[in-house]
Copies of this chain bind each other. A is one copy, B any other.
Amino acid sequence: MSKETIYTLRVEFGDCDPARIVWFPNFFRWIDAASRDFFVQCGVPPWHETEARLGIIGTPLVDTHAKFIQTASYGDVLRIHTRIAEWRGKSFVQRYRVLRDNPMAEGGNDLIMECDEVRIFAARRDSHGTAIRAVVAPPEIRALCDA
């Protein structure tokens, strides 16, 4: 099992559309921030450092699947619970549950959205150019993420 981190944000007026609810691409903006925040909170160094030592330049997204359960609107406080649900050979599944603070609800919150992403650890193909390749998760990064 991996650690679980929480990334907190408040929905702003400008995040909402004419239906007065969060315009859905903004959820992916926040999830991308929560993804990076997970590694930061786990103690993984910034990618420019891992590049120098391990060749890892980041964790690009290859597949995402999201379910929208309830709508949210401005003023709502959202907490994104993030963890690694599965380590695969050269990829991993990062899982998000977006909860809204709600003192009236059972458990103190509402489930707004769930998302499973497949990401890879990426290294450069060669020292020039922008081509990348997937590599096996370095054991030391994996150790930092595991609970």
Interface residues of A (CB under 8 A from B): 12-14, 16-21, 23-26, 28-29, 32-33, 36, 46, 57-58, 60-68, 71, 74-75, 130
Q: How many copies does the complex hold?
A: 4
Let me know if B68 and A65 touch, CB within 8 A.
no
* Set B29, B65, B74: member contacting A14, Cβ < 8 A: B29
Which chain B residues border A17 with CB–CB below 8 Å? 13-14, 16-18
Let me know if A67 and B58 touch, CB within 8 A.
no
Let me know if A36 and B64 touch, CB within 8 A.
no
CA distance A62 to B25 in the complex (A): 13
**Min C-beta distance of A84 to chain B, whole Å:** 19
CA distance A12 to B40 in the complex (A): 12
Q: Which residue of chain B is the closest to A115 with respect to CB atoms?
A: B64
**Min C-beta distance of A19 to chain B, whole Å:** 7
Let me know if A61 and B24 touch, CB within 8 A.
yes
**Min C-beta distance of A66 to chain B, whole Å:** 5
CA distance A16 to B21 in the complex (A): 11
Tell me which of A13, A26, A36, A65 has the highest count of chain B C-beta atoms within 10 A of its own C-beta. A13
Which chain B residues border A71 with CB–CB below 8 Å? 60, 130
CA distance A20 to B36 in the complex (A): 16
Let me know if A12 and B28 touch, CB within 8 A.
no
* Set B29, B33, B63, B130: member contacting A68, Cβ < 8 A: B63
